[in-house]
Chain A
Amino acid sequence: MLVVPFVALLVRAPWTSLGDILAGPEVAAALRLSLVCATLATLVSVVVGVPLAWFLARSRSRLVPLVRALVTVPLVLPPVVAGVALLMALGRTGVVGRLLDQWTGITLPFTTAGVVVAETFVAMPFLVISVESAFRAADRGLEQAARTLGAAPLTVFRRVTLPLTVPALLSGALLSWARALGEFGATITFAGNFPGRTQTMPLAVYLALESDPDAAIALSLLLLGVCLVVLLCLRGRWLGGLGHGAAGELR
C-alpha cells in the first residue's frame, strides 16, 4: 500500500524526456523559489522557534499550556484553513495587515515574502516540538556545574544548553524544511500562484498535472528525490551521527 504510489510514479515517468523537462526555465525557477523559501522559512522558524521552545520547556508561567496548544495548532489544521486565516490576519484588509500596510507600505499576500510566512506558519511547530523536548531533557546538572564554574546564565545557555540541543535542533530544522518544501495549501491560498514569484514546486506540479502530465510526473520525481535525501540525512542522525564527530555523539 505504502510503496505502490511511488512505484507507479517511477513506472509512469517519462524517462526519455525527463532531462528536457527538468532543464526548462520554469522548472528551474520553481525549484529555486522552493529551496530559497523553504530555507528562509526554516531560518525564521529557528530564530522564533528556539526562544519559544525555551519558554515552553523552562517557564513556569501559566500561559505555557495555552502557548503550547497554539504552537501545535498548525500541525493539525488543514493547510488551506491556515492560508485563509493568514489572509484574514495579514491580508491588505486583515487585522494586522491593514496596519502593516498603513505604517510601512508592506503587503505580504501574493508575494515571495508571503510564501515564506505561509511556510513558516505550517513548518515551525515541527522545530518547536523537537527543540522543546531537547531543552526539557537537557541535563540541569550540567547547567548547575557550569554555573559553579563561573558562567552566568546566558553563557550557560550559549556554551552548554544550546550545544547539547544541537542534534534536536538539526533534526527539527530538517523536518520543518521538508514540511516547508512540500507546503501547498497555505501557500496557494495566502500567496497565490505566480510563476517566478510565488509558484513553488508543489504548485507547479499541481498546475502541470492539468496541462502536461509528463511534466507533473517529472517534477514529482524531483521533489521525491529531495525528500529521500532529507530522510536519509535524518536516518543517519537517528543511527548516531550526521557524520564524523558530529552532533550524534551527544545525548
Chain B
Amino acid sequence: MFDGSVVRGDFELALSETFARGQVTVVLGPNGSGKTTLLQSISGITALTRGRISLGENVFDDVERGYYLPPEDRPVGLVFQDHRLFPHLDAVDNVAFGPRAQGVDRAQARRAAREWLRRFGIESLADHRPAQLSGGQSQRVALARALATTPGVLLLDEPTAALDVRTRSITRTELRSHLDQLDAATVIVTHDPLEAITLADRLLVLEHGRLTQAGPPAEVARRPRTDYVATLVGLNLHAGVLRRVGRSTTLDLSERGSLVVVAPAEIAAGHRVLAAIRPSAIAVHTERPQHGSARNLVEGSIESIETFGDRVRLAVDARPDLLVDVTPAAVAELQLRPGSPIWLSLKATDIEIYPQD
C-alpha cells in the first residue's frame, strides 16, 4: 500500500494506490513522470516526504510517526534498468548475494542460487562474470538475484529497455511466465506501451508525478484519458461537451468544431466527455463526398505525412485536428501532399464516447 508523496526540488510525486499480491501492476509514464522515484521510495532508496508505505502489517515508511525502514530491512526486490550486477562476482555469487546478506551460509546460498539459475535456464553461465553475459542473460541473472531474497514486493525498472529489439520480445514473454508463478506484488515501470499492455494486470499512467489514468490495460488502450496515453496507443482524443438535440447527439468541441456521435444513454446532455477515434476509421476524399452514410464531414488540409510500416499517417489541420491512417496506395492515387486540401468522413459509430471523470 502506497499512500504518500516524495518532493524533490520543484517536482512532487503523489500517489495513493494499493498493489495487490500476485498481481502485476505496470506504471506507464514519460521520462520525468516520477516512475523511478516511485520504485526508489518503495525500495527505501528514497524516503517519503509525506505519507506511508506498508506491506500488510509491515510498515516500510511512515512520515507522521517518524518511522523509516532502511532498504536492507524491506522485503523488496528491485531489478534495475541497467541490472547493476556486481562485476567482481560471477553469476552464482551475484544471485547468492541476497541470501548471504540475510545470513544464509555460503554453501547453502550458492546451492539456492544455482537452483534459481536453473529455473531461468542459465545454469551453464553460473561461473560467468557479468562482463561475459549478453543483455538478455544479464537481465535473467538480475531477476534471479532479486527473486532469491523471496521478496513480498518485486519492482522492475524498465525491464527490457537495456535490451536489443529482438531479445526484448523474447524476454517479455519469459518475464510474463515467471511473473505468473509469483506470489509477490509486482510493480513494473516503463515508458514502452507494448510492454505495459503485454505485462500488466492493471495499468497506471503517471504524468508529472500524478496518476492520470488507471485500469485494465485493454480499457486504458481503448479509452485514453490524456493526450500522452492517446499518442502512445495511437488514437485521436478530443474532449468536449455532449449535446442532445432531438434524436441527434453531438460532441461540442467549442472553437474546434463539433462531431455527430453515438453516446451511451446514461451520459446526460451537458456532460463533459472524451472522444477516442481510431485514425484508420477516418476516410479521406479530395472533393466533398455526396450521399454517404458517414455523419461527419470535415474540411481541412494536410499538415504532415509520415510512414508507419505499411500505413501512412496524415496529420490533418481541420476542425477538429485529426490523425488519419491511409495506405501508401491511397496517398499515390489521390496525390496527397502536405498542404493538399481534403475532406474527411467519419462514422458516428466509430467515435468512442466516455465520461471525462
Is residue B193 within 8 Å, beta carbon to beta carbon, of the partner chain? no
Is residue A170 within 8 Å, beta carbon to beta carbon, of the partner chain? no
Report the Cα distance A145→B138, complex, angstroms: 14
Report the Cα distance A249→B149, complex, angstroms: 28
How many chain B residues sit at the interface, stated as a range, is: 20 to 34
A251 touches B87 (CB 8 A): yes
Report the Cα distance A146→B45, complex, angstroms: 11
* Least CB distance, A71 to chain B, in whole angstroms: 27
CB neighbors of B among A129-188 (8 A): 139, 141-142, 144-152, 155, 159-160, 163-164, 166
Give chain A residues whose Cβ lies under 8 Å from the Cβ of B73: 150
Is residue A250 within 8 Å, beta carbon to beta carbon, of the partner chain? yes
A152 touches B80 (CB 8 A): no
Q: Which segment, of B23-31, B97-105, B249-257, B300-308, faces chain A?
A: B97-105
In the complex with contacts A141-B82, A159-B97, A249-B129, A149-B149 CB distance below 8 A: yes
Is residue B72 within 8 Å, beta carbon to beta carbon, of the partner chain? yes
Give chain A residues whose Cβ lies under 8 Å from the Cβ of B74: 148
Give chain B residues whose Cβ lies under 8 Å from the Cβ of A159: 97, 101
Give chain B residues whose Cβ lies under 8 Å from the Cβ of A149: 72, 77, 97-98, 101, 145-146, 149
Give chain B residues whose Cβ lies under 8 Å from the Cβ of A151: 72, 97, 101
* Least CB distance, B310 to chain A, in whole angstroms: 41
A147 touches B80 (CB 8 A): no
Contact of B149 among A150, A160, A164 (CB under 8 A): A150
How many chain A residues sit at the interface, stated as a range, is: 20 to 34
Report the Cα distance A142→B87, complex, angstroms: 9
The binding surface of chain A is classed by DSSP as helix
Is residue B76 within 8 Å, beta carbon to beta carbon, of the partner chain? yes
Give chain A residues whose Cβ lies under 8 Å from the Cβ of B44: 147-148
* Least CB distance, A154 to chain B, in whole angstroms: 11
A148 touches B43 (CB 8 A): yes
CB neighbors of A among B45-64 (8 A): 45
B97 touches A144 (CB 8 A): no
Contact of B88 among A145, A150, A163 (CB under 8 A): A163
B82 touches A142 (CB 8 A): no
Closest to A163 in B: B88
Contact of B72 among A142, A147, A163, A166 (CB under 8 A): A147
A148 touches B71 (CB 8 A): yes
Closest to A139 in B: B84
Report the Cα distance A160→B76, complex, angstroms: 20
B78 touches A148 (CB 8 A): yes
* Least CB distance, B149 to chain A, in whole angstroms: 6
CB neighbors of B among A22-51 (8 A): none
B45 touches A148 (CB 8 A): yes
Give chain B residues whose Cβ lies under 8 Å from the Cβ of A166: 88
* Least CB distance, A201 to chain B, in whole angstroms: 36
Give chain B residues whose Cβ lies under 8 Å from the Cβ of A145: 78, 80, 84, 86
Closest to A141 in B: B84
CB neighbors of A among B83-100 (8 A): 84, 86-88, 97-98
Report the Cα distance A163→B129, complex, angstroms: 14
Closest to B88 in A: A163
* Least CB distance, B76 to chain A, in whole angstroms: 6
CB neighbors of B among A56-114 (8 A): none
Closest to A251 in B: B87
Residue of B71, B77, B131 with most chain A CB atoms under a 10 A cut-off: B71
Report the Cα distance A204→B131, complex, angstroms: 49
Is residue B70 within 8 Å, beta carbon to beta carbon, of the partner chain? yes
Give chain B residues whose Cβ lies under 8 Å from the Cβ of A249: 87-88, 129, 131
A-B contact pairs, 5 of them (CB 8 A): A142-B87, A147-B72, A148-B76, A148-B146, A151-B72
Sort A-B residue pairs by CB-CB distance and give the 5 closest, nearest first. Answer: A149-B98, A151-B101, A145-B84, A147-B71, A150-B101
